Amino acid sequence: MSLLIAAKGFTLGLSMIMPIGAQNAMILNQGVQRHHHLTAAGLCAFYDIILIAIGVLGGGLLLNSSDLFFSILTWGGIVFLMSYGALALKAAVEADTNTSTTTVTKKSFKVIIVSSLIVTFLNPHAYVDTVMILGSVGGQYQGNDKMLFMFGAMLASIVWFFTLASGAAKLSVTLSKPKVRRIIDFLIAFIMWLIAASLFNAWVNRIILTVN
């Protein structure tokens, strides 16, 4: 039974993290460049572990109870996601107008650290997935069962991020081709804006419920 609880945490955690988002986009880009991709994966996994622990151990209740914090987090996330999407679209358009040369700007180690912090802690979906959803499910368990669920969810982040980074690095020759990179950038821009729209919709619905 204990292993089933850990497996449930792993499966739910994987389902939360696999859809492409800001963290995945960053790790994918670093993997394609084969530049600090494992470091980026390790940092994002570490941050997720912290957020999952906060959620499962009770932080999700505090986050859900504050309308002000929810609004600040949501609008900060909308601005962040719209900006991230705009940068991805810009990269796609520039690649489209200049496919003869491909310039790859590699980020320094310090920039990787800062970027990983930004795509995690300024990304509201990281809080929604780890603190709110995983926290609410994990909070239903007690004692060792709660710890097993939490560790299962944490393991999902570790496995997914390192798999994504390693896979992107192995396929870097194909993924770094201008046409493929352009498609990836367009897809990232679309998904970032779609997530921003869903956040805005969630904010409006919460405001309506609060007013009523």
Domain boundaries, the chain: 2-211
pLDDT tens column, 78-131: 887 788 789 888 888 886 555 544 445 566 888 899 989 988 887 777 887 888
Which residue pairs from 108-114 have beta carbons closer than 8 angstroms and sit at least 24 positions apart in sequence? 109/36, 109/39, 112/30, 112/36, 112/39, 112/40, 112/43, 113/43
pTM metric for this prediction: 0.75
Task: Write down the pLDDT at residue 153.
Answer: 95
Task: Write down the pLDDT at residue 10.
Answer: 95
SS3 state of residue 177: coil
Of 130, 121, 147, 132, the residue nearest 65 (C-alpha): 132
